[in-house]
Structure formats: C-alpha cells, structure tokens
Homo-oligomer: A and B are copies of this chain.
Amino acid sequence: MLEAFKGHVKKSFPELLSERFLLACSGGLDSVVLAHCCTTMDMEFALAHCNFRLRGEESDGDERFVANLAKSLNKYLFITHFDTIGYVNKNKVSVQMAARELRYTWFAEIMKQQGIDTLVTAHQADDNLETFFINLSRGTGIDGLKGIPPKTDTVSRPLLAFSRAEILEYAKASRLEWREDSSNRETYYLRNKIRHEIAPILNELHPAFQDNFDRTQAYLGDTALVLEAYNKKLRSELFQSENGVVRIEITDLQQLHPLKPHMHLLLKDFGFTAWNDIEGLLTATSGKEVRSKTHRLVKDRKQLLLEKLGYLDTRTYHIHENQREMTHPFRLKIECSDELGETAVNTLYVDKETLKYPLTVRKWQKGDYFHPLGMKGRKKLSKYFKDEKVDVISKDKQWLLCSDNQIVWVVGKRADERFKVRKDTRKIVKFELI
C-alpha cells in the first residue's frame, strides 16, 4: 500500500509534500497508518489529538498512546480535552455532532495559531460506502449520500483512495500498534454487515460497482454544490438583511416552485426542521413564529423575519426617585431640571409630580394602552405598533418606561400625553437615552 499511497499523494496531493500540515490522530488504525506513511515520505506535519472524555480511562489511554506515537515519529503534538457531555447538554446536539463541532473548531484554532493551511484526516474508502448505507437505512437526502470529498479548501483526505483491508494489511505487515475504540463496536456491527454482505452483492450486480459508486458520489457531490450555488443566488435575491434581522417577502417565496423544498433549501442552514410549520407561517397571522435551536422565523404581515436567537430580556427593571442613571437593560441618564431643554427622539421631559416611584422599565403586554402625546384619548399599544408598522421582532425588543404601570414613554419612540410638561409644571425630569 505504501507505494500506491506515495504515488497517490504525488499525483493528487502534491502540496502536502512541500507544506506543513496538521494530521488529526485519534490513535485508531487509520490515523496511525496515515501518520506512519506520511513520516516515511518525510512529510512535515504536526499531530493533533482530541480527548473527548467520553470513555474515561480508555480516552486517557488513547491520549497517552498518541503522545508516545508523536515522540517515536519525532513530531510536534497538540492535545486538548473537551467537556463533550457538557457541550451536548448546553447545545442540545448529539454526542457525534458535539464531538464534530468541538474538534473542527479546535483544529481551526491550532491551524490559525500555527500558520497551517491544511488539515489531513484519515478517512478511508470504506467510510464512504458504509456511511452511504447507514444514512440510506435511516432516511436521508443528497447530503447524506454524496460522500466525503477527498479535498476541500482546508481538509485533505489522502487515505480516501484506500480500503480498510489495504490499510489493515499494511499495519500488520509493518507491525504497527493502534488503539481500538470500544464505542466503535456499536457501529462496527453495522459497518461489517455493509462491507461483508451488501457490497459483495452490488459487486455481483456490476463488476465495476466500486468505481461506479465513487463516480455516483462525486456526481452527487457536484449536484450538492450546484444546489448550494442556487441557495446563495436565491438568498442574495430574496434576503434583505438589516440590523441582524433578515426580511423575506412572502410573495417572492411563493413564486418558487415547488415551494416547500425551496424553503428547505433556503432555511436548512439555520437549523430548522419543522417544515410543515414553516410552510404554515406563510398564511399564518402576524406574530406567529417557528424556532430552531439557533434561529426564529416570524410572520410579520407580508414578510417573514429571520433572526438569530439571542437572549430576549423580559424582566422588569426599577428606577428609584434619586437614581441618576440606569445601565441595564439600556443606558439612561436621569436629571431633574427646572426648565425644558432641547427636544430630541432620545430625550423625554416629564412632569415629575405625575410620576409614582419606583418607575418601571418593561416590555409590552397584551392590553397595554397609552395616550400618545398630542392626541386626544387613549390608544392600544398594539394599534400604535400596527399603525407605525413596527415589526414583531422590534415589538419584542421595545422597552416601555412606566409609572404605576401606566406607560410614560414608548422608549425612544413616543411620549405619553398624561405625563407631559405643562404650564404649571414645577419640577421636570429629563430622561436621556445614551
């Protein structure tokens, strides 16, 4: 296998012969063989090992094994420890996804730090075939069938041209040692079934099955890239981004046929999965929303608004009589004054005697009303928002300054008639947004 590997690297990965790279090494068969082959070819690389702390002493044993391997190969080694389960609980992702995200984020950091452009991973040919059938048995789409690319901008996989059998044979002939991952046993059974039972039948159906399969995966990979180009084009045409909120005209979406798969294409990168609910949003009443783990999509009149989920502050804050400044949830300067100063949208002057302390700062509630400055009578806040065309996301972010739970100021937007400075006002309070 070594000769074939040398030829393959020279032909398809020549840059690995002249540039330093990072080699991801779990200590398992594939990555140990890869590290040995690369060393034999005098390639310049450092090893990177992640201890995910998922298998206790076994994980630590892997780490010690890779540390010894690095010494024996005379290579630099980067090691990190992850609280994988903590990450799983915090981000509500699978263990597999957590390990993946943690690993690739860390690899990217090391590469940036060390000025390294390429990560080399030890995926081999059987991975693609096995993953294809595991995904197929579970139900999947083009992304689950297309296979791992041998090379992307930052990751190279020179072992992808070799089968597990070839790699194992090389390891045995070279008397290499490696670590067996006990958690692989679970998938080991599945992968074995595919390799030893399904693949031979497909080879019988067509003698060039493996080549045809590789071609099929390459073709599906191309198709996925074309879809991604379409996705990018559609987003640039349909998504209007402003202040972290993306606005999408519903009439634009409705021109896409078929609609649901197009919505899926446009929104899958934001973690959405409830496609029926999302389709329902198009005809739902304003304010309805669908959430993914990371984003929310809100119906707002003739648009959908897409926003990254942040912490939405719904607490109530208090302002006491002698308080001269508020820093949370926004900065407000409070001054007592004898006369009116300049009027500005960031500034409110009120008659102090109309206020009941402590004042409160809160978000809007159903049933809220106020007396808009300059108008006779009261107006529902929801009606005010509607007339001012305030979208549902902005509504949720709008703070209200209240006295005895009556709205004094739709902060930064509109004052209330009841609290305004009059001719007979004796003490004025000035609120100024910083």
Q: Does A395 contact B (CB under 8 A)?
A: no
Tell me, in angstroms, the Cα distance from A256 to B197 when the chains sit together: 41
With contacts A198-B198, A198-B201, A205-B190 taken as known, whether A139 is within 8 angstroms of B215 at the C-beta atoms is: yes
Asked whether A384 is an interface residue with its Cβ less than 8 Å from the other chain, the reply is no
20 contacts between A and B (CB under 8 A): A133-B205, A136-B212, A137-B202, A137-B206, A139-B215, A139-B219, A140-B216, A141-B223, A142-B220, A142-B223, A194-B201, A197-B201, A222-B264, A223-B227, A225-B261, A226-B230, A226-B261, A229-B257, A229-B258, A229-B262
Whether the pair A142, B142 counts as a contact (CB closer than 8 A) is yes
* A359 within 8 Å of B (CB atoms): no
Min CB gap A280→B, angstroms: 18
Known contacts A201-B193, A229-B256; is A223 also within 8 Å of B137 by CB? no
Q: B141 near A216 (CB under 8 angstroms)?
A: yes
Give the CA-CA distance A206 to B137 in the complex, in Å.
Answer: 6
Q: Which residues of B contact A204 (CB under 8 A)?
A: 193
Query: In the complex where A141-B219, A230-B230 touch, is A202 in contact with B133 (Cβ < 8 A)?
Result: yes
Per the 8 Å Cβ criterion, residues 174-223 of A in contact with B are: 190, 193-194, 197-198, 201-202, 204-206, 208-209, 211-213, 215-216, 219-220, 222-223
* A79 CB to nearest B CB, Å: 35
- Pairwise interchain contact B212-A138, C-beta atoms closer than 8 A: yes
Shortest C-beta distance, A304 to chain B (Å), equals 19
The answer to whether A226 and B227 have CB atoms under 8 Å apart is: yes
Closest beta carbon of chain B to A267's beta carbon, Å:
13
Output the least CB separation between A265 and chain B (Å).
6
Is there a chain B Cβ closer than 8 Å to A260's Cβ? yes
Binding site for B on A (CB under 8 A): 133-134, 136-142, 145, 190, 193-194, 197-198, 201-202, 204-206, 208-209, 211-213, 215-216, 219-220, 222-223, 225-227, 229-230, 233, 256-258, 260-262, 264-265
Prevailing SS type, chain A contact patch: helix
Q: In the assembled complex, which residues on chain B have CB atoms less than 8 Å from the CB atom of A233?
A: 230
**Given A142-B142, A225-B257, list of 17 further CB < 8 A pairs?**
A137-B202, A137-B205, A137-B212, A138-B206, A138-B212, A139-B215, A140-B219, A141-B223, A194-B201, A197-B201, A222-B258, A222-B261, A222-B264, A226-B227, A226-B265, A227-B230, A229-B262
